Structure 1
Amino acid sequence: MPSTHDFDAETQLSCTLTTKGNLQLHKKEVNAKLVPGIPWGLWSYWSPLWVVIRNLTQFDIAYVDSLFQSGEFWGDAPSANPWDVSTFGLRNSTTFVGIGYRPSGAINFSVLLDESYQYEFSMVSKCQGISMPKENLEANDSCAQGFGNPMVGSYKASLIEGGNMQEATKLRSKSGGKITSDKYVGVDAGGQQSKFQLYVTVIPGKTITVTISQNPL
């Protein structure tokens, strides 16, 4: 689906940006971090999902809201600190001794750029096989990450900017999805003008990996 954004447009940020050299250093540090696997406590539920957020940016990623078709969070609601890896679980109310719907729905996030601007995106993951009714996925004006869990078949996912999760479900793919933001400009810690774009990817699976990267221009 073609982007409706003007990629020549630039948004001026008021925050101090990380220098290009330190960007690369921080990204290497984040990518070197060990990501914990699905904890045993989560495995005890019927067909859970484990979500990994790799935040390769200097910005906080905040949880806004969630829309569950079935299931709930396992543990705290998700968020991600700058230059960090965050994980959280999604479970149903049924333990492994019973059978029920897999966790399915959407999660809303906001990348907090400065006091005036945030970046919003929608990720919807849907299974090929057993799935929840489409009418339970509603359009939302905030950023969202969606998730789905198949009984049989393959995991699929997609990304779009904004909060139209219904549109995102039409674009789901076994290979995941990716989106790129408009350009942002500001002054870095060395006093130099700096430009970047945010690059977001999602890889579907039993473990869903969402990566948000601050890419200098």
Structure 2
Amino acid sequence: MAQAAIPVTGVILSGAAVLVAVAQLVVALDDGDDTLKSKDHWMQCSVRNETQFDIIYNNEYFDSGTYYRAPPIKIPKFSTGQFSVCNKWGLAGVSGGNAWKVILDNNHSFPFALGFTDPFIGARKSAAIEHGSAKDGYNAASERGANGVSDVYTGKDDDGNTTYFLLALSAVTGHHSMFTVHQTEIKGDWTKYK
């Protein structure tokens, strides 16, 4: 039996409207300053909000390292927020995660976690997973970037018609890692998505 779609209040944008807004999302990505890049282990991370909802930062977990530049508290709809991480000292790398939530309405949010590692030994890794703690994001990090997807949500479009959507998470690993939260309209049978 399929789980019921979670109802969200407010007008839900169509897939086409989301794509138009995302196409207009032109953000100059920060390359990281020279002091950051002089560290032995560092990552410049961008969080791309391709949804009509705000994203709020919750907390972090570090196995090693620290923020060079902390994440923003809020990433508004259709915008990009950035943070950078680096080793604290010596030969240690940087490994950790942070937890976020997408504010869907006054009663519903979608929690997710990001993970990032640039260890002393081993490869850079990243993750973007659903319903996780900051430590879960760290533990899920992989070289190819672990990805996730939300439950299915339902609401009304601007014509009053019922619509279904989900939020897809992706992580691209590198010195300049990209994490994306994308709002995807579901056409047809939404029950096959969860």
Q: Tell me whether 1:185 sits opposite 2:139 in the alignment.
A: no
2-side partners of 1:166 and 1:76: how far apart? 19
Q: Tell me whether 1:203 sits opposite 2:172 in the alignment.
A: yes
Q: Tell me whether 1:155 sits opposite 2:95 in the alignment.
A: no
Q: Tell me whether 1:214 sits opposite 2:180 in the alignment.
A: no
Q: Tell me whether 1:37 sits opposite 2:28 in the alignment.
A: no
1-side partners of 2:46 and 2:153: how far apart? 26
- Which residue does 2:52 correspond to in 1? 58
TM-score by length of 1: 0.74
Alpha-carbon contact 2:54-2:77 (below 8 Å) kept: yes
- 2:118 is paired with a residue of what secondary structure? coil
- 1:214 is paired with a residue of what secondary structure? strand
- The residue correspondences of 1:44-83 to structure 2 (distance < 5 A) are 44-78=38-72, 79-83=74-78
1-side partners of 2:22 and 2:99: how far apart? 24
Cα displacement (A) at 1:195: 1.4
* Matching residue's letter, 1:183: V
- Which residue does 1:120 correspond to in 2? 111
Describe the superposition over 1:133-163 as per-residue Cα deviations: whole angstroms up to 9, x where unpaired: xxxxxxxxxxx22221133442233444222
Over 3 Å counting, the alpha-carbon distance change for 1:33 and 1:158 in structure 2 is closer
Over 3 Å counting, the alpha-carbon distance change for 1:167 and 1:57 in structure 2 is closer
Over 3 Å counting, the alpha-carbon distance change for 1:176 and 1:88 in structure 2 is same
Cα displacement (A) at 1:182: 1.6
Cα displacement (A) at 1:179: 1.5
- Consecutive unaligned residues of structure 2, counting only runs of 5 or more, are 187-194
Over 3 Å counting, the alpha-carbon distance change for 1:154 and 1:44 in structure 2 is closer
- Which residue does 2:163 correspond to in 1? 194
- Consecutive unaligned residues of structure 1, counting only runs of 5 or more, are 1-5, 122-143
Cα displacement (A) at 1:89: 0.9
RMSD over equivalenced CA pairs, Å: 2.4
Aligned length: 184
Out of 5, 10, 15, the residue aligned to residue 15 of structure 1 is 10
Aligned-pair identity in percent equals 24
Cα displacement (A) at 1:83: 0.2
